[in-house]
């Protein structure tokens, strides 16, 4: 079988798609001095963060171990969009949030009002939603992110209401395809959680229902 070179899109492909939608010429590199390219790239990256922070099968990990440092602190990696302690590993002993400590983001325990974790062992186990590179995103999500960014960039650069309405229709279809892909990957169901089958309380997630239907 022949290898298809255009089977997956790159960040450059996505930005060129945005540029062409507003009547601009495509570029061969992102290292150009162009305000249109800057707007297209910043919009694409903004939409990447917005979409990925919802949490999908491909960028969500459960029970991810993070080592407690010598100061008994848990430093959060820079590419984390959302983080919480895993309920099954820590049984609700801590109530944590992400908080800055002199410019370094760490887990902060709201229960004990401290950055220090004395009784958690060598690691804490977290449920994490990751920010990942555009190139590593599944193609169906790249397509959704691109068309959504195209609509936003079009509004910012040309403000054509008719064009935005047409792009919005494409966006709705792209999101439906992305959601279908995620459902196939995640094996979700309404009766029991696919990961923690013994705990039905983990099945219903209101924010996901509101965002994805």
**How sure is the predictor about 205, in pLDDT bands with cuts at 50, 70 and 90?**
low
Phi, psi of 207 (to 5 degrees): -65, -30
pLDDT digits (tens, 9 = 90+) for 72-99: 999 999 999 999 998 888 877 788 999 9
| pLDDT the model gives residue 138 | 96
Domain that holds residue 207: 11-53+135-212
Do residue 69 and residue 116 come from a single domain?
yes
Whether residue 5 is contained in a domain is answered as no
| 200 pLDDT more than 60 | no
Residue ending a domain, choose from 96, 130, 164: 130
Buried/exposed 65-86: b ≥16 CB within 10 Å, e otherwise: ebebeeeebbbbeeebbbbbbb
Q: Which is higher by pLDDT, 23 or 16?
A: 16
**Domains contained in the chain, number:** 2
**How sure is the predictor about 198, in pLDDT bands with cuts at 50, 70 and 90?**
very low
Contact 186, 194 (CB under 8 A): yes
pLDDT digits (tens, 9 = 90+) for 123-175: 899 999 999 999 999 999 999 999 999 999 988 888 777 777 888 899 999 99
Structure tokens at 96: 């944590």
Do residue 65 and residue 159 come from a single domain?
no
Q: How far apart are CA 71 and CA 212, in angstroms?
A: 41
Q: How far apart are CA 74 and CA 108, in angstroms?
A: 8
In this structure, the dihedral spanned by the alpha carbons of residues 42, 46, 47 and 53, taken in order and rounded to 10 degrees, is 160
Whether residue 6 is contained in a domain is answered as no
Contact 98, 38 (CB under 8 A): no
Whether residue 178 is contained in a domain is answered as yes
Axis crossing angle, helix 139-157 with helix 35-52, rounded to the nearest 10 = 130
Q: Which is higher by pLDDT, 197 or 67?
A: 67
pTM of the predicted structure, to 2 decimals: 0.83
Do residue 71 and residue 108 come from a single domain?
yes
Q: How does the average pLDDT of the chain come out, rounded?
A: 86
């Amino acid at each position: 079988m022949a290898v298809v070179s255009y089977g997956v899109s790159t960040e450059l492909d996505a930005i060129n798609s945005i540029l062409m939608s507003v009547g601009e010429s495509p570029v061969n590199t992102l290292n150009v001095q162009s305000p249109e390219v800057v707007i297209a790239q910043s919009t694409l990256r903004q939409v990447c963060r917005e979409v990925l922070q919802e949490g999908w099968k491909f960028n969500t990990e459960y029970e991810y171990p993070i080592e407690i440092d010598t100061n008994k602190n848990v430093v959060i990696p820079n590419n984390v969009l959302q983080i919480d302690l895993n309920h099954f590993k820590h049984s609700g002993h801590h109530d944590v949030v992400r908080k800055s400590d002199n410019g370094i983001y760490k887990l902060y325990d709201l229960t004990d009002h401290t950055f220090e974790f004395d009784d958690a062992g060598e690691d804490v186990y977290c449920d994490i939603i990751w920010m990942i590179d555009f190139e590593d995103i599944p193609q169906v999500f790249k397509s959704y992110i691109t068309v959504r960014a195209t609509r936003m960039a079009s509004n910012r650069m040309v403000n054509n209401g008719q064009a935005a309405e047409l792009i919005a229709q494409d966006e709705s279809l792209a999101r439906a395809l992305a959601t279908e892909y995620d459902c196939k990957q995640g094996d979700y169901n309404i009766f029991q959680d696919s990961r923690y089958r013994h705990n039905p309380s983990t099945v219903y997630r209101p924010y996901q229902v509101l965002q994805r239907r």
